[in-house]
């Protein structure tokens, strides 16, 4: 469903992501794990067309979307949820969700899909997004992305700013989405949560993929355990 080949990207001519390749099959969940500054956000933004890549190709559902604008990529079926969420704080929950469908009109059946996944959003549809709690804002950011009925959902550190219980809840919701067949790519530092969701993972270090394996293998890998799970 998503095939990334030799993507490089950086800032002011200096690459911080080097020749990264990975794939996400339809209905698969894949984690990119890596510590602060590894290049996760740069990589995901490059895939989503939000950051210019200096090389490589991105193929979405058989279509080469390399170099496309972010808007065109999102219309082609790739939704990106930034760690900062970028909600419209002065607008209501319902208005934020409607914007997620733009330029299409919000589909009431899809709105029900989102509300069934996140009943809290249904209860609070009239509330300003900016007054929602951190966990609720996270649900709204995911819900807004789903309004576009994406083929692939990309999330950058969805646990950012969430207390452990809420971070776990966020991954529970992603697990439900995966169970419904959604294709998910997630970048995460909270490695146990990410590996709990994902079928497979890639370890990104200094902008390069250093290791790839099934989530079970990564969770048992001594290097991964030492570096990311704090287990000697």
Ligand X SMILES: Nc1ncnc2c1ncn2[C@@H]1O[C@H](COP(=O)(O)OP(=O)(O)OP(=O)(O)O)[C@@H](O)[C@H]1O
Show the beta-strand stretches assigned E in the chain: 2-11, 14-24, 29-33, 53-60, 63-64, 78-81, 152-156, 183-188, 200-205, 208-214
Q: Does 34 bind ligand X (CB under 6 A)?
A: yes
Backbone angles phi, psi at 223, to 5 degrees: -65, -40
Q: Which stretch binds ligand X (CB under 6 A): 36-44, 64-72, 132-140, 167-175?
A: 36-44
Identify which of 184, 231, 187 has the alpha carbon closest to the alpha carbon of residue 209: 187
State which of residues 18, 39, 81, 174 lies at the interface with ligand X (CB under 6 A): 39
**Which of 41, 66, 138, 215 is close enough to bind Mg ion by CB under 5 A?**
41
Establish if 82 lies at the interface with ligand X (CB under 6 A).
Answer: no
Beta carbon of residue 52, minimum distance to ligand X (angstroms, whole number)? 12
Does residue 37 bind ligand X (CB under 6 A)? Answer: yes
Displacement of CA 219 from its chain's centroid (Å): 20
- The nearest distance, CB 30 to ligand X, in angstroms, is 16
- 180-193 in b/e burial notation, b at 16+ Cβ within 10 A? eebbbbbbbbbbeb
d(CA 65, CA 122): 34
The two three-digit tokens of residue 8, written as one number? 């490089």
Q: Which does 110 bind (CB under 5 to 8 A by kind): ligand X, Mg ion, none?
A: none
Closer residue to ligand X in complex, CB, 141/147? 141
- Least Å distance, CB 64 to Mg ion, is 26
Could you say which of 23, 54, 57, 189 contacts ligand X (CB under 6 A)?
189
Interacting residues with ligand X (CB under 6 A):
11, 16, 34, 36-42, 189
Interacting residues with Mg ion (CB under 5 A):
40-41
């Amino acid at each position: 469903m998503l095939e990334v080949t030799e993507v490089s990207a950086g800032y002011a001519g200096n690459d911080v992501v080097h020749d990264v390749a990975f794939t996400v099959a339809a209905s698969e969940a894949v984690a990119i794990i890596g510590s602060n500054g590894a290049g996760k956000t740069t990589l995901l933004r490059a895939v989503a067309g939000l950051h210019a890549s200096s090389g490589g190709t991105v193929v979405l559902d058989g279509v080469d979307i390399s170099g496309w604008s972010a808007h065109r990529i999102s219309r082609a079926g790739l939704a990106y949820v930034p760690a900062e969420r970028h909600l419209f704080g002065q607008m209501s929950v319902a208005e934020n969700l409607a914007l997620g469908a733009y330029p299409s009109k919000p589909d009431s059946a899809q709105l029900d899909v989102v509300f069934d996944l996140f009943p809290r959003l249904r209860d609070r549809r009239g509330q300003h997004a900016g007054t929602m709690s951190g966990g609720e804002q996270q649900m709204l950011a995911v819900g807004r992305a789903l309004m576009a009925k994406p083929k692939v959902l990309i999330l950058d550190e969805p646990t950012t700013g969430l207390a452990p219980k809420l971070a776990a809840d966020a991954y529970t919701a992603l697990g439900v989405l995966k169970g419904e067949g959604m294709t998910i790519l997630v970048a995460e530092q909270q490695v146990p949560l990410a590996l709990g969701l994902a079928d497979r993972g890639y370890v990104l270090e200094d902008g390069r993929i250093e290791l790839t394996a099934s989530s079970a293998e990564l969770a048992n890998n001594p290097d991964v355990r030492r570096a990311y799970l704090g287990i000697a």
